[in-house]
């Protein structure tokens, strides 16, 4: 499974990083970097939590 970021939609709120810091990181300029775009089943709960908390629906799982 994979996390897909709709970058133009992302507003840098950082809530996704709080939910899944192992999978993503917001840099000093508010740009979100996906540390591991592909994730293992063990991280699925975190990945889904990150998708759910994003207030602008910029993340999805493919």
Q: What minimum distance in Å lies between the beta carbon of 21 and ligand SF4?
A: 12
Question: Does 59 help bind ligand SF4 (rule: CB under 6 A)?
Answer: yes
The DSSP output letter for 2 is B
Q: What minimum distance in Å lies between the beta carbon of 59 and ligand SF4?
A: 5
Q: Which two tokens stand for residue 33?
A: 């970097």
Going residue by residue from 11 to 50, which x/- string records binding to ligand SF4, judged by CB under 6 A?
xxxxxx---------x-----x------------------
User: Using an 8 Å Cβ cutoff, are 2 and 60 in contact?
Assistant: no
CA–CA distance, 15 with 49 (Å, rounded to integer): 10
């Amino acid at each position: 499974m994979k996390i897909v970021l709709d970058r133009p939609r992302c507003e840098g709120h950082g809530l996704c990083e709080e939910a899944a810091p192992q999978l993503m990181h917001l840099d000093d300029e508010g740009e979100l970097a996906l540390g591991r775009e592909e994730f293992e089943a063990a991280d699925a709960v975190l990945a889904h939590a990150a998708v759910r908390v994003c207030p602008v629906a910029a993340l999805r799982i493919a």
